Structure 1
Amino acid sequence: MTQDKLIGPGKTFLINTLSNQSILAILALLAVLAIVFIVLRLKRFRNNMPLHIVRVSIAFFSLYLTGKLLSQFIELHDISIVTPKEINFLFLVAIVALAIRECFLFADHFRRHLENTGKNATSAQIITRVIKIVCAISILLMFGEQFGLSFAGLLTFGGIGGIAIGLAGRDILSNLFSGIMIYFDRPFNIGDWIRSPDRNIEGTVLEIGWRTTKIMTFQNRPLYVPNYIFSTICVENPGRTRNWRIKTSIGILCEDVDKIKVIVGQIRDMLKKNDNIDQSQTLLVNFNQIGDFSLNILVYCFTKTTVWSEWLQIQEDVYLEIINIVQKNGSDLAYPTRKVFLEQMAKQ
């Protein structure tokens, strides 16, 4: 009995196939895949741009070399399970996916750079999204022929797709163009506090997307508003006000009419000496109304700050000072009262 018969036909085929050359090819393939995995997992390369470029270059070259080695191995040993063309296609998909991923990472890194250098967050976000779209389209056009799509075919597909989207996705297009108009008109930016008198919309803008704008309400609930809504409603942006107003009416007891002039003058002087009040804006303190049970003093001024918490604190200090002035002058704040006069009847 021969050696082939003792070993068996299946094992003989395996021994003949795994020659020294094929073993070296498999080892090289595993080594390249290990290099790709290790390089992609090294996070310390991500914070250094030159090293990051080297890392990405190694990953691209390793994927390309792996695809070539695997294709040659399959072609050399006539493996019928998968063809070299299919292997090349799979690795091409991996290369394209890696290229798009790196472009997106670069765009995000560029956005953070813009924000750190003082660029408006809304502008940085729009620029980043435009970069991502341009990169993705460029990569697809660049490798389109490798997937069996010609440049003319891609343009034709884009035209037909545009017509289909125009017919079936009018709301999507409406939101998209409204989002673009929000960017150019700039009624608000990311971080602004906005509200609408037409709708129950109020909160801080967190994100301006292609389709919706994300707003965080003061109840800490995210509110997603379709962009086209902003083209049909009025939007108030309190965050862009240069000053915040303090306006109130102080009611003094009617019997203290002789003290009104002194109280008004002291309140006016107090506001003029307050460093938190903007003296370049309108400042009014006047006795302006005789009420049913009080003598009313109008207080009208503007703070320098536009921060809500600071404005509340300044308003509180002003109110306490006003109460102190009223009480120092021997008067008090009025409240609804009714006086009953009883006429004593003459004794019979």
Structure 2
Amino acid sequence: MNYVVLHSDLGAWAVAICIGIAVCVLLHAANRMLIRRLGMFAQSTATYLDDLAIRILGATHPVFILLLGVWAAAQWLVLPPEAAALLARLAIAVLLLQVARWGDVGIRDWLHHYRSRRSAEDAASTTSTAALGFVARTVLWLIIVLMILDNFGVNITTLVASLGIGGIAVALALQNILGDLFSSLSIVLDKPFVVGDFIIVDDIAGTVAYVGLKTTRIRSLGGEQVVFSNSDLLKSRIRNYKHMETRRIVFGIRVAYQTGKRQLLAIPGILREAVEAQPQASFDRAHFKAYGVSALEFETVYYVKTADYGVYMDVQQAINVALFERFAEQDIAFAYPTQTVYFANAETDAKVHEEAHA
């Protein structure tokens, strides 16, 4: 007797079961073999991508493989239209869930690797990258859930519109917090500065101590901690001295008005020699700049070939000492604030007054 179950005889069911088992076994074996081959390849490379691929493939769920085997077996059977449609929808739903699982594992593992690599030089970025990972994973799962609902025939237009309206309302209510959050992500991704950099924001100078989700904290030169909101910080002009390659130095000296012409003409050359004698300095110019209130003013410009502030101060000190010695040799006097008062003779002043009214 030929038994028929769900429009298919026992022979068809036997073939379908064999096909399903074979597909499951082959997919499982292929997944394990691919993971093993990638593992062998990863041992000979320094890149992280092959390690990430191994972890993503390792997240393949057995239910996903089982349902693929069931779907392959069902192609050999003659199923009612309703059952075939339901099976197809289930297969698509499981495929979407598996894609979401792969994406979730990939995001979490990549962010963990990023935080581990940067924890030594920018420990505070872990907070922001954790927030970024949470947002990315939430968006991924939300999209997958909407696709699954749409696959089962649910009208998601109203749901998407409701989510959009709700999102706008939440964004308006939390715009300051969200602004600081996205500014934090901008700091982490664009890296205008990192923890440990010496920066100047407006008139506040200090070292970046922490970059959080809402605030960035700077340890000022006075020792106190200055807290900026991330949005306000990115709206300001930031000068990052950590990335300086050279320093441009402008300094002036003042000599007395009693300085003779020969001495006056010799001063730019003396300034040049003092700067060029320093191996870490590159001379630019030295000029008699102006007649000051109580002194003759000279201006010198040079470059320090390193951003190290200590080196700059050592160079400037050496230049100052050299100028002190050379000026003493040339009998050139440094100026200091002075004021000369002239007193007119009383008789001469009266005579001039009478002649003016004659």
TM band (smaller chain):
0.5 to 0.7
- Runs of 5+ unmatched residues, structure 1: 1-102, 142-151
Query: Residues 241 and 114 of structure 1: is their aligned pair in 2 closer, same or farther, counting only changes over 3 Å?
Result: closer
Displacement of 1:240: 2.8
Moved more, 168-177 or 231-240: 231-240
Paired residue for 1:169? Answer: 174
Query: Residues 243 and 190 of structure 1: is their aligned pair in 2 closer, same or farther, counting only changes over 3 Å?
Result: same
Query: Residues 245 and 176 of structure 1: is their aligned pair in 2 closer, same or farther, counting only changes over 3 Å?
Result: same
Structure 1 residues 189-204: aligned runs within 5 Å: 189-197=194-202, 200-204=203-207
Query: Residues 108 and 320 of structure 1: is their aligned pair in 2 closer, same or farther, counting only changes over 3 Å?
Result: farther
Paired residue for 2:240? Answer: 237
Displacement of 1:122: 7.5
Structure 1 residues 27-106: aligned runs within 5 Å: none
Q: Aligned to 2:185, which of 174, 180, 184? A: 180
How many residue pairs get aligned? The number is 235
* SS of corresponding position for 2:323: helix
Displacement of 1:293: 3.0
Paired residue for 1:68? Answer: none
Paired residue for 1:266? Answer: 270
Task: Confirm whether residue 254 of structure 1 aligns to residue 257 of structure 2.
Answer: yes
Tell me the alpha carbon deviations over residues 124-152 of structure 1, each in whole angstroms, 9 at most, x when there is no partner: 765455446667999999xxxxxxxxxx9
Task: Confirm whether residue 335 of structure 1 aligns to residue 339 of structure 2.
Answer: no
CA distance in 2, matches of 1:170, 1:130: 17
Structure 1 residues 211-230: aligned runs within 5 Å: 211-230=214-233
Q: Aligned to 1:113, which of 109, 117, 129? A: 117
Paired residue for 2:288? Answer: 287
CA distance in 2, matches of 1:157, 1:261: 81
Displacement of 1:169: 0.9
CA distance in 1, matches of 2:229, 2:277: 47
Moved more, 294-303 or 333-342: 333-342
- Runs of 5+ unmatched residues, structure 2: 1-106, 144-155, 346-358
Query: Residues 253 and 211 of structure 1: is their aligned pair in 2 closer, same or farther, counting only changes over 3 Å?
Result: same
CA distance in 1, matches of 2:178, 2:198: 26
CA distance in 2, matches of 1:287, 1:269: 16
Structure 1 residues 5-20: aligned runs within 5 Å: none
CA distance in 1, matches of 2:310, 2:303: 15
> What one-letter code is carried by the residue in structure 1 that aligns with 2:311?
E
Bigger RCO (CA 8 Å, 6+ sep): 2
CA distance in 1, matches of 2:125, 2:266: 54
CA distance in 1, matches of 2:204, 2:167: 33
* SS of corresponding position for 2:258: helix
Displacement of 1:210: 1.8
Tell me the alpha carbon deviations over residues 7-37 of structure 1, each in whole angstroms, 9 at most, x when there is no partner: xxxxxxxxxxxxxxxxxxxxxxxxxxxxxxx
Displacement of 1:190: 2.3
CA distance in 1, matches of 2:161, 2:343: 98
CA distance in 2, matches of 1:308, 1:121: 25
CA distance in 2, matches of 1:201, 1:157: 45
Displacement of 1:172: 0.6
Tell me the alpha carbon deviations over residues 247-285 of structure 1, each in whole angstroms, 9 at most, x when there is no partner: 122111222222122232122022123111135xxx111
CA distance in 2, matches of 1:124, 1:218: 26
* SS of corresponding position for 1:278: strand
* SS of corresponding position for 1:254: coil
Q: Identity over aligned residues, as a percent?
A: 24
Query: Residues 286 and 208 of structure 1: is their aligned pair in 2 closer, same or farther, counting only changes over 3 Å?
Result: same
CA distance in 1, matches of 2:226, 2:344: 65
Structure 1 residues 279-318: aligned runs within 5 Å: 283-318=284-319
CA distance in 1, matches of 2:109, 2:164: 29
TM-score scaled by length of structure 2:
0.52
> What one-letter code is carried by the residue in structure 1 that aligns with 2:279?
D
TM-score scaled by length of structure 1:
0.53
**Does the 8 Å CA contact 1:246/1:315 hold for their aligned counterparts?**
no
Paired residue for 1:209? Answer: 212
Displacement of 1:209: 1.8
**Does the 8 Å CA contact 1:121/1:189 hold for their aligned counterparts?**
no
CA distance in 2, matches of 1:161, 1:342: 85
> What one-letter code is carried by the residue in structure 2 that aligns with 1:284?
R
* SS of corresponding position for 2:192: coil
Task: Confirm whether residue 275 of structure 1 aligns to residue 279 of structure 2.
Answer: yes
